[in-house]
Amino acid sequence: MAQTCRERVLCALSLREPDRVPLYEHLINTSVVNRLINRKVTGTVEEQIKAWVRCYKKLGIDMSFVILPGPSFEFAKGRDMVESPTIPAFKVTENTWIDEWGRTYRYMPETDQAFMIGFSIKDEHDIDAFDFPKPNSPGRLSILKFAKKAMKALDHQMAITCWVPGPFEHTNLLMGLDKFIVLLYNNPRAAEKLMDIVTDFALQIGQMFIEEGADVIDISDDCAYRSGPMIHPNLYRKFIVPRVKRIAESFHSRGVKVILHSDGNLNPIMDDLVSTGIDGLHSIEPQSGMDLGLLKRKYGGKICLLGNIDTSQTLPFGTTSDVEEEVKRRIREAGPGGGYILSSCNSISIAVPPKNVIAMFRAARRYGRYPLKTVE
C-alpha cells in the first residue's frame, strides 16, 4: 500500500523500509524553480513559497524545503525588506542587505545568491551589548504558514522540515570563523555564552515550529571543509556535541524527528555526531570523501543518511544518464533496509540544468521502490 509523503519520510528516519526511498531537496534555487514550473515567479515571499511547493509536487518530493523563521514584524516595520524566503533582511542598497542578526550580505545577480560580507560581533565585549533577535517575536511563523497554505491549496502534503540554527555554524557566522576559534581558546566562557544564546534561540524557535505542525527539525550546522572539520575534533566534542544533544533531546521529547545538515568531510567526527542522538544526517558530500556505502555499513543501524548526489560535477555538468547512474548507485549503497533519503549533497544551485533535476527524481522513483530490485 502506498504511503503518504509524511509516512514515507518518518519511516525512513525511523530506520525502516518505506514503500520507496523518500525524496528530499534542502532548497532549489528560485531561477531553477521558475524553469521547472515554466513560469517566472518574482513576487512576494508567499508567491515564491507557492512556486516552490508547485515545483516539489511536480518532482514528487516527499519532504519540504527547509523552512526558516520569518522576520519579526518589529524588525520589518518601515524597512525595505528583501522578498526572500531564505534571507529575511532589509535592503541598504539594492544588492546589499542586513539581516536581523546584524550581518551584511552582498547579492550577486549572476549566481542568484547572497553572500555574507560582514559580521555583527567583533569581540567578546559585543556579546553583552548586542540586541539579539527574540525567537518568540510575532512574524516568526509566517513562512511556515505560507508553506502549509500552499501545500493545502496544491494538494501536496509533504513532511514539513523547519530550520533552527546550529551552535557551531551560527555562532561563527556572527563573529567570523577565525575570531570564533580564537575566542574558543582564549576565552571559552565568552564563546560558550554566545553558543548558548544561539542554542536557546534554536530551542525556542523549534518549539514554536513544532506547535505549528513541523514533522522534522533541521539543525543547520556546517562544521567541516572538504579536508575535514573546521575545528579540532576534541573542541567539537567538548563544546558542540553537548549543545546539539540538548537540542535533539528537547525536540524528541515533543515527538519530532531531528536531522543535522553539514557539508564537508565529517568522517573524523561521525561517532560524535551519532552520539548526539540525531535521527538523520544531511548532506553526505561525495567530493569530500564521504563514502555513502561505508557510512551505511558502519552507521546504518543508528542514523538515517540523506543526500550524496553530487552537486559539484554530476548534477551541473553530467548528462541525464550520468545522473541516473549515480542515483542507482546511491540507492544500491544505502537503500537496503531503509534509513536512506535521496537528495543532492547540498541544494540545487543555478548551475544545475532542470533536465538533470528531473532525471534525478525520476530515476529515484523508478529504482527506489521497496522491495528493492538489484540495481546494476
What average pLDDT does the chain have? 97
Query: What is the pLDDT, as a whole number, of residue 375?
Result: 54
Q: What is the pLDDT of residues 314-348, one digit of tens each?
A: 999 999 999 999 999 999 999 999 999 999 999 99
73 Cα distance to chain centroid = 24
Confidence of residue 374 (pLDDT cuts 50, 70, 90): low
pLDDT at res. 358: 98
Angle between helices 354-367 and 30-37 (to 10 degrees): 70
Q: Percent of the chain at pLDDT above 70?
A: 99
Dist CA 12 CA 57 (whole Å) = 20
At 258-288, the pLDDT tens digits run: 999 999 999 999 999 999 999 999 999 999 9
Burial of 106 per CB tally in 10 Å (0-12, 13-18, 19+): middle
* Tens digits of residue pLDDT in 111-144: 989 999 999 999 999 999 999 999 999 999 999 9
CB-based contact 180:172 (threshold 8 Å)? yes
CATH number of 5-78+127-367: 3.20.20.210
Estimate the crossing angle of helix 354-367 against helix 320-334, to 10 degrees.
40
